Each structure stands twice: as structure tokens, then as C-alpha cells.
Amino acid sequence: DAGVTQSPTHLIKTRGQQVTLRCSPKSGHDTVSWYQQALGQGPQFIFQYYEEEERQRGNFPDRFSGHQFPNYSSELNVNALLLGDSALYLCASSGDRGPSYEQYFGPGTRLTVT
């Protein structure tokens, strides 16, 4: 049973560019959440997708957008990259969007913006 997978593992982009990160949830999971983790901080919630719709959003600008596909996989898109977008981006899946369900995390994508 494959766990949560993310691609790519590492990525280097230039300010102003756009980036797309990908996530495949654990088998049987239909809810995907995206987090940004800066060095020395806890993960910051970006948004959650359920039934192909964005159900909840954290305090991130509209430059951050996403999508969920019918097979529950998800993409995170960031436009007009800033140096401050450099971080580890984590994807997590769960069997339900409710708070009692533990989240299963992928290995993350390390984004460096130069």
C-alpha cells in the first residue's frame, strides 16, 4: 500500500516564476491538505481539498492555488514566486476532513526561490 507521495523532491526557481507541486494521497483517502513549513517553524496550513473543491483555506495570498483531481491527487500552484516562498511544502491526506482523523504526510517538496 503506497503512502503519500510528492513530486518533485527538490526544486529551484527564480523570483517571479510559477511552480506546480504534486501529491498523490494514501490509497483510500479522499482529503488532501497542503502545508508550508519554513525553517524553525511548525507547518502552516495553506488549504484543504475534498471532493475536488477547496474546502478550507489558511492565511495565504491568492498566488497560492490548487486543484484536486477525480482520483484525489492534488496540485499546489504558486505564481509570481517570492524569496519568502522558499520552504518545505508538505502534503497530507486523511480518510475524512474531520478533525479526529490523523493525517498521513508525504516526504515534502523543498522549494528554493533565488
Partner 1 sequence: ILNVEQSPQSLHVQEGDSTNFTCSFPSSNFYALHWYRWETAKSPEALFVMTLNGDEKKKGRISATLNTKEGYSYLYIKGSQPEDSATYLCAFFMDSNYQLIWGAGTKLIIKP
SS3 83: helix
Q: How far is the CB of 112 from partner 1 (least distance, A)?
A: 18
Residues binding partner 1: number (CB under 8 A): 28
- Distances in Å between the alpha carbon of 74 and those of 87, 113, 114? 19, 22, 25
CA dihedral 29, 47, 106, 81 (to 10 degrees): 150
Q: Which of 23, 33, 78, 113 binds partner 1 (CB under 8 A)?
A: 33
Using rule CB under 8 A, residue 100 touches partner 1 = yes
Closest by CA position to 88, among listed 56, 44, 58: 44
Which residues have a Cβ under 8 Å from the Cβ of 18 and sit 6 or more positions away? 77, 78, 79, 80, 81
Using rule CB under 8 A, residue 9 touches partner 1 = no
Using rule CB under 8 A, residue 43 touches partner 1 = yes
Determine the interface stretch with partner 1 among 16-24, 44-52, 69-77, 78-86 (rule: CB under 8 A). 44-52
Using rule CB under 8 A, residue 55 touches partner 1 = yes
**For binding to partner 1 (CB under 8 A), which residues are involved?**
3-4, 33, 35, 40-45, 48, 55-56, 58, 90, 92, 97-108
